[in-house]
Amino acid sequence: MMNHMDASSLAGRTPKFVVEVLYNFFPSDKQHLTLTQYEKVKVIETHESNWWIGERANGEVGLFPANYVRRVQDITEESPRHKEKTFQKPVSYDPNKNKKTKEEQLQKRKQLASQLGLGGLDLDDLLSEDEDDVLSSEDEQEKPPQPTTLTKQSSTASLKSQPSLPSQQVTTTINPQNAAGKFVTEEAYEKKKKELQEALQKQLEDQKTKTRQAEEIQKLKEELQKAKAEVDEARKVTTPRTTPRGGATTTTASQSVVDLDKKQKELERDFEKKKKDLEKEFEKKQREADQELEKKKREMEKEIDKQAEKKQKDFIKEAEKQNSASSEMQKTIEKLKQKNTQLEEKVVTLDKSIVDMKQKHTKELKEAADKLKEQKEGSLKHAQLKIVRMKKQIQAVKLENEYLKVETQEMQKEFLASLHKISSTGLKKLMDGYKDLEEKYKKELKERRLLYNQLQDLKGNIRVNLRVRPLLPEDGQTENCIECVDDKEVKVYDKEAKKSYKFEFDSVFGIDSTQAQVFEDVKPLATSILDGYNVCIFAYGQTGSGKTFTMEGPPNNRGVNYNTLDEVFFMIKERKGEYSYEVEVAVMEIYNENLHDLLTKDKTKLEIMLSNKVSVPGLTRIKVNSSDDVRKVLSQGYENRATGSNNINAHSSRSHCIVSVFVEGVNLYTQQKLSGKLHLIDLAGSERLKRTDVKGDRLKEAQSINKSLSALGDVISALSSKKGHIPYRNSKLTSLLQDSLGGNSKMLMFVNVSPTVESCPETLCSLGFAQRARTVELGKAQKNIVSQGTASTSGSNSNN
Ligand SMILES: Nc1ncnc2c1ncn2[C@@H]1O[C@H](COP(=O)(O)OP(=O)(O)OP(=O)(O)O)[C@@H](O)[C@H]1O
C-alpha cells in the first residue's frame, strides 16, 4: 500500500478506466479518498490488495476500496487485471501446433477406407465424429483452453430488483478474482475445475472405447479383406478348369464360390449389423454422457446461482450496514457540529458573564472597602467615645465611692452619737440600712471592675493583680508594712527608709481575700481560651509570698489553676450544641534552665522548637474531658514534681511550674475552627540573693532563676517600649511563652507579696516589676482561627 498520495507523482500516468462509487466512504486519514455514492473516480493503478489508486473529479488522488465500485467507462485498453477475469487453465497452448487441414483429414479418411478394403463403403458417418475423437484423444491435453462462461439470466432476474447492484454482474465470469462482486469463491472454482476434469476423463474413456471398437471393426475389415482375397484366389483357380471333364471339380469350385459369396454376404451382414449395434450403443452412450453433462451443468449453475445469491445478499447487507454506519457518522458529525456551535455560543455568553461578574465584583469590592473604611473609622470613634465614656463613668464611680466613703463615715459618726439614744429596734433598722448600703456598694464595685476590665481589654494591657498574703504564725512577731487603700491601690511603708510608696494595680486583693474573689478576675480569661485566644497567667513574687497558694491552692481551697479549668469545662458545657471542644493538658517544670515533662517519670530534658508556633516535641499531652480528669492529671504532675526532690518546698521555690492547656474548638454551625492555649505558671521565687550568701547548687539555681526572670523582665520591657525585636530566646521560660507573651495574647500577672516588714525590700522590688509590666500596652488580642469554615465571615477574621 502506498504511504503517500502525491498527485504530482501520479500526474504522468494514464487513467485506465472509470469506476462509479457504490457507497459513501469516509476514511480516517488523508491517504484515502473521501468518496460519496455515485461519484466517478478515474482508476490510475490497481492492486491485488483491492486498494486502488484513483483520481477524483477535483484532481484529488488517493486510495479507495475496489470492492464497492463498478466499472462504468474504459479509458485505455483493458487492464491486465481485466484480462485475468477469463478463466484459463494453466497450460501453454500453440493453436497451430496440431492444426489439421481439411485435406489432411480427407486423406486420413481415404487411407482408412482403403485399409478397410471396403472400396465404396462409406465410413464418413462412422468417422464424422469418431475421427475427431480419435484425433482429439491423442491431443486432448493440447487443446486450447476454452473460457467457461455461464449465463446468469436466471439468477440476475431476481437480483435486478436491487437498484444498487453493479450492472456487470448480469453476466458473471467464473473467476475466483471477480473484481466486481467476488461472489465466486476459490472453492467454487476448484469444484468446477474438478468437474470439468472428470468430464474430460470420461470423454477420454469414451474415446478409448470408441478406439477399441474401431480396432475391432478394423480387424473385421481385415478378416473381410482376407476372405475377399481368398474368394478372388478361388475365382482365379476355378475359372480355367471349367470343362465337361472336370465337371465335378467345377461343381465343387462353384459350390465353394457360392459358399464364399454366401460367407462374404454373411460377413457383410454381420459387419453391417455390428456397425449398427455399435452406432446405436455409441449414440446411446453419447446421449447419456450429454445428459450427464447437462445435468452436472445445471447443478453447477444452480450451485453458482445459490452461492452468488448468498454472496450478493451478504454483500448488500454489508453495504447497507456500511451505508447506515456512514449516515450515522454523518448524523454524529452533524450533531457534533451543532454541539460545537452551541458550545461556542455558550463560551461567548460565559465570557460576557465573566466580564459582567468581574465588573460587578470590582464594584462590590470597592463598595465593601468603602464600607469597611467607614466602619473602621466609625468603630475607632466609637471605641474612643467608649473609652471617654468609661473614663467618665470611672470618674463618676470614684466620686460615688468617695461620696459613699464620706457618707459611711458620717453615718458611722451619727451611729456612734446616737447609739446610746436609740432603742434596740431602731438599731436593727439602722443595721438593715447599713447592709443595704453595703450591698449597693459591692454591686457598684463589681460593675466598676467589669467596666474597667473592658477598658483594659480595649487597651490590651498586661493586667496586674496584687495579692497580699496574711501574716502567718511562722512570720513571728512582726509588723505589717502594707496597707490596701482600696481594690486598686496599695500603700507600702518602708520602715528603714521611713518612706511610704503608693502603687496602683488592676486589682488589689488584701489579706482576707478569698480564692473565689481572686478567680473572679480570671474568669473572663477562661472564656477567652474557648474563643481562640492565647492566655498566660503567672504568679510572680518572692519565696513564701503565696504564689503556689494563689495558683494551685491547698486541696480544700483550690486556686486559679483548678478554678480556671473548672470554668473551662463549665463553659464547654454551656456551649454544647454550638461548639465542640477538645482539651489537652501538659505539666512541665523549668529547673536550672532545663525543661522537664512532669506527666512522665522520665527526666529527659525537653527541647523547645521555635518557628511560627512554639512546640515541644515529646511533651506528654493528656486529653481531659472533665474537671475530675483535670484534677487527676494535675495531681500526677505535682506528684512527679515532689518525687524528684528531697525538699518539695525548697525545690518548688527554685523552679518554674507550668500547666499548659490546649483547646481546639469547632463551631458546629459554621465549621470555623479555633485554637486556644493557656499557660498557668507558678514562677520560682524572685528574691535577689546576695552572691556571698550562696554557693554551689544554690548559686546555680539562683543564677538560672535570675536569668529567666530577667529575661521575662526584658521581654516585658521590650514589649512596653514597642521594640521590633523581643528577646524571647534568652531563656527557656520566655522561649516557651513566646506565643503567649505579647501581641496576640492576653496576660494576667499576679504579684504576690508578704506583708512582713522584713519582706519590705523584696515586696518593693516585686511591686516595681509589676508596675512596669502594667504599663505594657499589647494592643487588642487576636483570636487563633485555624480555619474559617463555611461562615459568612465578613468582619470575622484573625484580628477579632
Ligand atoms: N492568701 C493566703 N491565705 C492564707 N494562707 C496563705 C495565703 N497565701 C499564702 N499562704 C500561706 O503561705 C505560705 C507560703 O505560701 P506559698 O507556698 O504559696 O508561697 P510561694 O510564693 O509559693 O512560695 P514558694 O515559691 O517558695 O513555693 C503557705 O503556708 C501558704 O499556705
CA–CA separation, 38 and 35 (whole Å): 9
What is the average pLDDT across 491-505?
91
CA–CA separation, 133 and 204 (whole Å): 9
Ligand 1 within 6 A of CB of 544: yes
Q: What is the pLDDT of residue 113?
A: 46
Most confident of 218-222, 236-240, 460-464, 783-787: 218-222
CA of 548 to the centre of ligand 1 (A): 6
Residue 512 has pLDDT above 90, yes or no: yes
Ligand 1 within 6 A of CB of 548: yes
Ligand 1 within 6 A of CB of 652: yes
Q: What is the pLDDT of residue 583?
A: 96
CA–CA separation, 465 and 488 (whole Å): 8
Q: Residue 617: CB partners within 8 Å, gap ≥ 6?
A: 606, 607, 609
Going by the annotation, the residues of the binding site for ATP are 541-548
Among protein residues, the one whose CA lies closest to atom 8 of ligand 1: 546
CA of 544 to the centre of ligand 1 (A): 5
CA of 442 to the centre of ligand 1 (A): 27
CA of 547 to the centre of ligand 1 (A): 6
Q: What is the pLDDT of residue 554?
A: 93
pLDDT digits (tens, 9 = 90+) for 33-87: 889 888 999 988 887 778 888 889 888 888 888 888 888 888 754 444 444 333 3
CA of 590 to the centre of ligand 1 (A): 20
Residue 364 has pLDDT above 80, yes or no: no
Residue 183 has pLDDT above 50, yes or no: no
CA of 184 to the centre of ligand 1 (A): 119
The C-alpha cell at 649 is 518546698
Q: What is the pLDDT of residue 285?
A: 85
Which is higher by pLDDT, 760 or 688?
760
Going by the annotation, the residues of the binding site are 541-548
Ligand 1 within 6 A of CB of 759: no
Q: What is the pLDDT of residue 65?
A: 87
What is the average pLDDT across 126-148?
37
513 CA closest ligand 1 atom index: 1
pLDDT digits (tens, 9 = 90+) for 723-758: 678 888 899 999 998 888 876 788 899 999 999 999
Ligand 1 within 6 A of CB of 469: yes
650 close to 589: Cβ distance less than 8 angstroms: no
CA of 169 to the centre of ligand 1 (A): 122
CA of 470 to the centre of ligand 1 (A): 9
8-state DSSP, 462: P
Q: Where are any strands of DSSP class E within 431-578?
A: 463-468, 482-484, 489-494, 499-504, 507-509, 534-541
Which is higher by pLDDT, 21 or 333?
21
Share of the chain above pLDDT 90, in %: 21
Q: What is the pLDDT of residue 299?
A: 87
Helix (H) or strand (E) holding 61: strand 61-65
Residue 628 has pLDDT above 80, yes or no: yes
Hey, which of 465, 466, 467, 469 would you mutate to test ligand 1's pocket, going by the most ligand atoms within 8 Å of its Cβ? 469
Least confident of 128-137, 483-492, 644-653: 128-137
What is the average pLDDT across 449-466?
69
Q: What is the pLDDT of residue 570?
A: 93
Share of the chain above pLDDT 70, in %: 71
Q: What is the pLDDT of residue 111?
A: 57
650 CA closest ligand 1 atom index: 26
Which is higher by pLDDT, 644 or 668?
668
What is the average pLDDT across 636-642?
83
Q: What is the pLDDT of residue 238?
A: 54
Burial grade of 622 (CB within 10 A; 0-12, 13-18, 19 or more): middle
Among protein residues, the one whose CA lies closest to atom 15 of ligand 1: 546
Ligand 1 within 6 A of CB of 655: no
Which is higher by pLDDT, 388 or 608?
608
**ipTM of the complex in this document:** 0.98
What is the average pLDDT across 268-273?
83
Q: What is the pLDDT of residue 166?
A: 35
Ligand 1 within 6 A of CB of 660: no
Q: What is the pLDDT of residue 620?
A: 95
Hey, which of 468, 475, 519, 549 would you mutate to test ligand 1's pocket, going by the most ligand atoms within 8 Å of its Cβ? 549
pLDDT digits (tens, 9 = 90+) for 276-290: 888 888 888 888 888
Q: What is the pLDDT of residue 423?
A: 56
Which is higher by pLDDT, 245 or 647?
647
Ligand 1 within 6 A of CB of 553: no
CA distance from start to end of the chain: 78
Q: Per the CATH hierarchy, to which homologous superfamily does domain 1-91 belong?
A: SH3 Domains (2.30.30.40)
Q: What is the pLDDT of residue 87?
A: 35
Among protein residues, the one whose CA lies closest to atom 2 of ligand 1: 469
Q: Residue 88: CB partners within 8 Å, gap ≥ 6?
A: 145, 147
CA of 541 to the centre of ligand 1 (A): 11
Mean model confidence pLDDT for the chain:
75
CA–CA separation, 46 and 31 (whole Å): 16
Look-up of cell digits 450478493:
312
Q: What is the pLDDT of residue 411?
A: 78
CATH code at 460-793: 3.40.850.10
Hey, which of 475, 548, 648, 763 would you mutate to test ligand 1's pocket, going by the most ligand atoms within 8 Å of its Cβ? 548
What is the average pLDDT across 136-159?
35
Which is higher by pLDDT, 775 or 66?
66
What is the average pLDDT across 653-681?
91
Q: What is the pLDDT of residue 192?
A: 66
Which is higher by pLDDT, 103 or 555?
555
The C-alpha cell at 202 is 470420461
Q: Residue 551: CB partners within 8 Å, gap ≥ 6?
A: 537, 539, 559, 560, 561, 680, 681, 682, 750
In the chain, domain spans: 1-91, 460-793
Q: What is the pLDDT of residue 424?
A: 60
Ligand 1 within 6 A of CB of 510: no
CA–CA separation, 384 and 390 (whole Å): 10
- The reported pTM is 0.49
Buried b vs exposed e over 545-566: b needs ≥16 C-beta within 10 Å?
A: bbbbbbbbbeeeebbbbbbbbb
pLDDT digits (tens, 9 = 90+) for 402-442: 778 787 777 777 777 766 565 566 667 777 777 787 777 77
Which is higher by pLDDT, 618 or 92?
618
Category of 548 on φ-ψ map: left (φ > 0), alpha (ψ -120 to 50) or beta: alpha
CA–CA separation, 689 and 706 (whole Å): 9
Residue 124 has pLDDT above 60, yes or no: no
Ligand 1 within 6 A of CB of 472: yes
